[in-house]
Amino acid sequence: MAEATRDDLEALVAAATPHFAFQLRARLQELVAELPAEHPARAYAEQQLELLDRLGYASSKAEQGGLEARSKPGWEQIPSSATAADPLPREQ
């Protein structure tokens, strides 16, 4: 396979959803594993790996639009209330 570029990585991550975040994260790691640390695609991949990690614990990638207040009645019964910006806490 040819050396991964930033565009290749963007194409992989752009349509990521919480459901597939960890699978995409693993694939992204494979794509950049042999790139040198100073490679521009490697630096970009590190940022995207963090996003995918947070997304895996979220229920939405949406960064725009309003969020419902957690004080809203019934909030604790909404299972999909976490975004990639504010994911659910990780279980230890």
- The pTM is what? 0.67
Q: Residue 50 has what pLDDT?
A: 92
Alpha-carbon dihedral angle through residues 83, 81, 22, 44, given to the nearest 10 degrees: 0
Cβ–Cβ under 8 Å, residues 29 and 49? yes
Task: Report the pLDDT value the prediction gives residue 71, as an integer from 0 to 100.
Answer: 78
Q: What is the pLDDT of residue 83?
A: 72
| Helix, strand, coil percent content, the chain, rounded in steps of 5 | 45, 5, 50
- CA dist 88 and 91 (Å) reads 9
66-87 pLDDT per residue, tens: 666 777 777 666 655 667 777 7
pLDDT (tens digit per residue) in 10-63: 998 988 888 899 999 999 999 999 899 899 999 999 999 999 998 888 776 666
- Specify the 3-state DSSP secondary structure of 51: helix
